[in-house]
Amino acid sequence: MSTDLLNTLPSLNQLTEDEQMLKEAAADFAKSVIAPKVHEMDQKAKLDPEIIKAFFEQGLMGIEIPAEYDGGDGTFMMAILAIEQISKVDASAGVFMDVQNTLVNNAFVNYANEDLKRRYLPQLANSKVGAYCLSEPSSGSDAFALKTKAVDKGDHYVLNGTKLWITNGNEAEIFIILANINPEAGYKGITAFVVEKNFPGFSVGKKEDKLGIRASSTTEIILEDCIVPKENVLGEVGKGYKVAIETLNEGRIGIGAQMLGIAQAALEHAIAYTKERKQFGQAIADFQGVQFQLAEMAIDVETARLLVYNAARMKMAGLPFLKEAAMAKIRASEVAEKVASMAIDLYGGYGYVKEYPVEKFWRDAKIGKIYEGTSNMQLQTIAKLILKD
């Protein structure tokens, strides 16, 4: 990185005025609107419709969408900060807006032609939820072993296949679906399509009953002779692998921000509880052993934050960020699980019951090592890049 470029970037924890304002607005929204409904949504395994509506009203579903398409005209860092703040209160709500901003919206902004942008971006900014559909029964970490096929029928395509683990599957009305138009060509046949929920042959299947992020819907998507207009190809035919890879690289920073929010919340709750909880005539925070645990938790959270913010800044600067995104995701997910577990330990028996918040942090944190690229896949990416240098 050149000295001139470094001088144009704020330090990792130094936010611009606009970034600070959005961070505070997201935090206030999370505390006032989302927090009162977190327990109920977790129990019902469903996002409250009023919260979904409020996300749009607050402009949190189209942060980076340009103003000409009714979006917030913000930056990637602003989206990352908002995801972190929402996830501090509820990771289900955090991933709901994360997928919309870092995957769906960015795919449209970066790859859609002008017609698709004008048709869909205002809807995504103002009222309609999006979903990103890549994984299948036979393709997980090997994302491009997908079996969903697209057949050219002249003025439209016909899609057949099943997608799994689709976040926002129940709430979404606009779907980006990866299918192969030429299976013989392997990944060079993969193409991205924009599919609306009301297209013939499209349906939402089973909703998964999950350990954590329970209010976030995770569903299968079923395509049975689904008719998609020719003009709904996102990007170029046969270049869907590029859309998928580059979009997921950005999405991993978003997951890092979600995990960072969980870790920060677990740390803050642990600090507050240890100051209040008394044993042997004094607050347990006065015991050196507890202090050391809290110090370790704080160090872990700060290192995760630096990695996440660094990856976001590099992406914004137009620098290669694949390695940094992988590092941010893997470390933030590890830290979230570790810090949430330590918070449960510090709460003792109270940490194990749903009346207190820390058991949910641990349940929500577990997914961080799995979705949008498992930890093993992140390690593989990092290893390839450092050996290439």
User: The CATH number of the domain where 270 resides is what?
Assistant: 1.20.140.10
Cα–Cα distances in Å, from 198 out to 113, 162, 170, 193? 22, 17, 13, 14
pLDDT at residue 7 in the model: 53
High-pLDDT (> 70) share of the chain, %: 97
Nearest one of 40, 131, 24, 44 to 88, comparing CA atoms: 24
The catalytic site residues sit at 372
Coil, helix or strand at residue 47: coil
- What are 222-237's pLDDT values in tens digits? 999 999 999 999 999 9
Q: Is the pLDDT of residue 6 over 70?
A: no
High-pLDDT (> 90) share of the chain, %: 93
Domain end, chosen from 81, 109, 129, is at 129
**Cα–Cα distance between 378 and 342 in angstroms, integer?**
24
**Cα–Cα distance between 354 and 366 in angstroms, integer?**
17
- Per the structure, how many domains does the chain have? 3
Q: Are residues 290 and 268 in the same domain?
A: yes
What is the domain extent for residue 27?
3-129
**Cα–Cα distance between 262 and 266 in angstroms, integer?**
6
Q: Are residues 115 and 183 in the same domain?
A: no
Tell me the mean pLDDT in the region 179-187. 93
Domain end, chosen from 211, 237, 263, is at 237
pLDDT at residue 2 in the model: 45
Q: Are residues 269 and 227 in the same domain?
A: no
Mean pLDDT, all residues of the chain = 95
Phi, psi of 344 (to 5 degrees): -60, -45
